[in-house]
Amino acid sequence: MEKLSNPQVTIEIIKKYNFAFQKRFGQNFLIDGHVVEKIINAAEITKDDTVLEIGPGIGTMTQYLAESAGKVYAVEIDKNLLPVLEETLGEYDNVTVINEDILKVDINALLGEDAKNLKVVANLPYYITTPIIMGLFENHIPAKSITVMVQKEVAQRMQAKPGSKDYGALSLAVQYYAEPYIVANVPPNCFMPRPNVGSAVIRLTSWDEPPVKVTNEKLMFDLIRASFNQRRKTLQNGINNSPNLNFSKEQVIAALKEMGLSESIRGEALTLEQFAQLSNILDK
Ligand code: SAM
- 215-239 pLDDT, tens per residue? 999 999 999 999 998 777 899 999 9
**Segment 20-48 mean pLDDT:** 97
Rounded distance from Cα 27 to ligand 1 centre (Å): 6
The amino acid at 8: Q
129: number of Cβ within 10 Å: 20
**Segment 53-70 mean pLDDT:** 98
Rounded distance from Cα 17 to ligand 1 centre (Å): 17
Q: How far apart are CA 201 and CA 186, in angstroms?
A: 7
Q: How far apart are CA 206 and CA 175, in angstroms?
A: 9
Ligand 1 site, CB within 6 A: 25-30, 54-57, 60-61, 75-78, 101-103, 123, 125, 128
Q: Which of 23, 77, 89, 126 to mutate to test the pocket of ligand 1 (most atoms within 8 A of CB)?
A: 77
**Segment 104-114 mean pLDDT:** 96
* CA dist 6 → 3, 53, 73, 127, 167 (Å): 6, 20, 23, 26, 38
**Segment 234-263 mean pLDDT:** 96
Q: Whose CA is nearest to atom 20 of ligand 1?
A: 25
Ligand 1 nearest atom to the CA of residue 31, by list position = 5
> Which pLDDT belongs to residue 246?
95
> Which pLDDT belongs to residue 187?
98
